[in-house]
Amino acid sequence: MPVQNVTTCTFGGPDPKTLFITTASIVSPPGNRLAGSLFALDVEVPGMAENEFHIA
């Protein structure tokens, strides 16, 4: 990644083959203009469906 502080990632899109990656800017060095951005990468393997939990 072109930034130092990756915060989290998740799969999305119609076929969950897009990996969304968030970053933080709060602890980035000065001049890192991409810090705090959201990145999207197309991947070949889809992510897994999320688990659902229901309380009756």
Can you give the pLDDT at residue 23?
A: 93
Which one-letter DSSP state was computed for residue 31? T
Cα→Cα distances 4→33, 35, 38, 39, 51, Å: 11, 8, 13, 13, 30
Residue given tokens 């076929």 in the structure block:
15
Can you give the pLDDT at residue 45?
A: 95
Can you give the pLDDT at residue 2?
A: 87
Is pTM, for the whole model, over 0.95? no
Mean pLDDT of 17-43: 90
Residue 47 has pLDDT above 90, yes or no: yes
Q: Say how far apart CA 43 and CA 56 lie, in whole Å.
A: 37
Domain residues of the chain, as ranges? 6-42
Instruction: Check residue 36 and give left, alpha or beta (phi > 0: left; psi -120 to 50: alpha).
Output: left
